[in-house]
Amino acid sequence: MPNMNSRIVFYEDRNFMGRSHECSTDCPDMYSFLSRCHSCKVEGGCFMLYDRPNYMGNQYFMRRGEYADYHMMGMANGMRSCRMIPMHRGSYRMKIYERESFGGQSHEIMEDCDNIMDRYRMSSCMSCNIQDGHWLMYEMPHFRGRMMFMRPGEYRHFSMGMGSMGGMGGMGGMRFQSMRRINESWY
């Protein structure tokens, strides 16, 4: 269910200066609206920002707040595309696998997991099937490192720069060691 109050405002320059563009849905290429994008304000909802067009490249989770400088958010080249994360009310469920293509040991997860090695004795997650909810997957334990936004679907393998349908682009063979539900408390 989309959050009707989701809204993000992008600014050309740091500290919310220069021209702006307001967005309440997905935007595959900010440069069609602004010549550059160096700061933003999330006025409602949650968004994933990408440092490349078409939801590719490194991903950054943003929730309500002001982000005055893209460098302080860990971005190297500014914001290029964004995806609105719809609010999910209901259960959360995914099955994780230790190898690509749903191979090896597997476990069903219905809540946040800060370390799959400690909880399941799995060194990492290399594929998954998300049945319910929206999730953030992290490459390191305790919700650290690069992250990836995941919505319901089958993911035979991971790649930084996955597009909207799990398409490839960027580097393959990603492994995740912790995962967190995107729930109402984040909005």
pLDDT at 187: 74
pTM, full prediction: 0.83
Per-residue pLDDT of 172-184, as tens digits, reads 568 999 999 998 8
For each of the domains in the chain, give its residue range(s) and CATH number, in order of start: 7-85 (2.60.20.10), 93-186 (2.60.20.10)
Residue type, 168: M
User: Is the Cα torsion angle 160, 125, 119, 107 positive or negative in sign?
Assistant: positive
Using CA atoms in the order 69, 72, 75, 79, what is the torsion angle rounded to 10 degrees?
Answer: -20
Q: Average pLDDT, whole number, for the chain?
A: 88
Q: What is the mean pLDDT of residues 139-160?
A: 91
pLDDT per residue over 51-98, tens digit each?
A: 999 999 889 999 999 999 988 777 777 899 999 999 998 999 999 999
